[in-house]
Amino acid sequence: MNGLGGLNKSEHGVVIGMVQLQLPVVVTPDDLAKQTQKIVDMVGKARRNMGTMDLVVFPEYALHGLSMDTNPDIMCSLDGPEVAAFKAACVEHSIWGCFSIMELNPGGMPYNSGLIIDDQGEIRLYYRKMHPWVPVEPWEPGDQGIPVCDGPNGSKIALIICHDGMFPEMARECAYKGAEIMIRTAGYTAPIRDSWKFTNQSNAFCNLMATANVCMCGSDGTFDSMGEGMIVNFDGQIIAHGTSGRADEIITAELRPDLIREARLNWGVENNIYQFGHRGYVAVKGGAQDCPYTYMTDLAAGQYRLPWEDAVKTTDGTGFGFPEPTRLFGETAKEAAE
């Protein structure tokens, strides 16, 4: 049930629109300015498209395209003109927006960042991509964890980006911190279509959490992004899916955070987000609340190591034309040079 894509909005509903934005080519600051205006115009289209819409979501790479260009002249900052334009568009059209920027990082490689801006022009969520799509992407790994914000109509929202969604721990962290809706923005191309679909569904079902997911769309003359706007209910059922591959189409649905909250409280069978930390509560009071997972304890101790670690062949980006890194995580370029 999706309220006819949000046309019939309920009292407790959140109507969300996923923009299958045409994949751009952005090389110069002028290109960046033109693409910024395109996104601003699409915020207006979203409002005109559906007066009930609460939140419009743009894909990863909506502003910069898929070139992986780290030229500082086209990188963004939170106080730059691009973010200012997005804020103004949200205010003008009285709508929340989710946006993607490649963020200047003077101490290292740029961050791949996402923003949720409310209808008053305030940044409500700021996230740096935790898992860049290695070895293809050059972005600095995120260093601020996974935030959750209060969203429209009393919802709780988290944002992850593209490859993040291939790690079940990312979705679990969103739900553990209270998210009822997890947004996943992406620039994925067609070879990822099947894994995109089943991870969007499993991320929802395993956490009793709705997922709202969208990729760039169309071709830039080199890459072909797939669109695939997909909104999944907390039981894993797809309630809206952009299968046409039509660029600039907005895929919409109504989500019901109140029903998500109800399921998290009332489900017994398959209440997995609760049961994960209360193993076997039928047999033992409160369930087992230990951590029997070696990969978790090793990671927390800084000792994560696979049995086949030494045989892994791709461990940097040199095969895709990037230089071998010399910095450690958390270290600036200046510190590494000293």
pLDDT band at 337 (very low <50, low <70, confident <90, very high): confident
pLDDT at 3: 76
Residue 120 belongs to a domain? yes
Residue 87 annotated as catalytic = no
Using the predicted structure, report yes or no on whether residue 147 has a pLDDT greater than 80: yes
The percentage of residues in the chain with a pLDDT greater than 70, rounded to a whole number, is 99
Question: Do 113 and 82 fall into the same domain?
Answer: yes
Question: Do 261 and 320 fall into the same domain?
Answer: no
Residue 287 belongs to a domain? no
Residue 67's domain is classified under what CATH number? 3.60.110.10
Quick one: tokens of 71? 């030229």
Lowest mean pLDDT among 4-13, 107-116, 154-163: 4-13
Question: Do 193 and 326 fall into the same domain?
Answer: no
Question: Do 229 and 298 fall into the same domain?
Answer: no
> Using CA atoms, how far apart are residues 317 and 271, in angstroms rounded to an integer?
40
Given the residues 9, 60, 98, 156, the one annotated as active site:
60
Residue 149 annotated as catalytic = no
Given the residues 9, 129, 149, 174, the one annotated as active site:
129
pLDDT band at 1 (very low <50, low <70, confident <90, very high): low
> Using CA atoms, how far apart are residues 244 and 57, in angstroms rounded to an integer?
18
Question: Do 125 and 13 fall into the same domain?
Answer: yes
Residue 283 belongs to a domain? no
**DSSP class of 319:** G
Question: Do 92 and 142 fall into the same domain?
Answer: yes
Question: Do 37 and 124 fall into the same domain?
Answer: yes
What is the per-residue pLDDT across 307-323, written as a single tens digit (0 to 9) for each?
A: 999 999 999 999 999 99
Average pLDDT for residues 291-300, to the nearest whole number?
Answer: 98
Using the predicted structure, report yes or no on whether residue 89 has a pLDDT greater than 70: yes
Contacts of 15 (CB under 8 A, 6+ apart): 3, 6, 9, 50, 52, 53, 54, 55, 252, 253, 254, 255
Average pLDDT for residues 135-161, to the nearest whole number?
Answer: 98
Average pLDDT for residues 234-243, to the nearest whole number?
Answer: 97
> Using CA atoms, how far apart are residues 75 and 234, in angstroms rounded to an integer?
36
What is the per-residue pLDDT across 14-69, written as a single tens digit (0 to 9) for each?
A: 999 999 999 999 999 999 999 999 999 999 999 999 999 999 999 999 999 999 99
Residue 246 belongs to a domain? yes
pLDDT band at 325 (very low <50, low <70, confident <90, very high): very high
Question: Do 213 and 311 fall into the same domain?
Answer: no
Question: Do 268 and 305 fall into the same domain?
Answer: no
Contact between 230 and 241 under an 8 Å Cβ cutoff? The reply is: yes
For residue 212, list its beta bridge partners: 183, 231
Question: Do 247 and 304 fall into the same domain?
Answer: no
Contact between 257 and 14 under an 8 Å Cβ cutoff? The reply is: yes
What is the per-residue pLDDT across 168-203, written as a single tens digit (0 to 9) for each?
A: 999 999 999 999 999 999 999 989 999 999 999 999
Q: How many domains does the chain have?
A: 2
Residue 289 belongs to a domain? no
> Using CA atoms, how far apart are residues 230 and 243, in angstroms rounded to an integer?
9
Q: Which domain holds residue 316?
A: 294-337
Question: Do 258 and 310 fall into the same domain?
Answer: no
Question: Do 197 and 249 fall into the same domain?
Answer: yes
What is the per-residue pLDDT across 71-86, written as a single tens digit (0 to 9) for each?
A: 999 999 999 999 999 9
Residue 323 belongs to a domain? yes
Residue 270 belongs to a domain? yes
Residue 174 annotated as catalytic = no
Whole-number average pLDDT of the chain: 97
Question: pTM for this one?
Answer: 0.97
Average pLDDT for residues 264-272, to the nearest whole number?
Answer: 98
Given the residues 98, 149, 162, 174, the one annotated as active site:
162
> Using CA atoms, how far apart are residues 268 and 274, in angstroms rounded to an integer?
9
Residue 123 belongs to a domain? yes
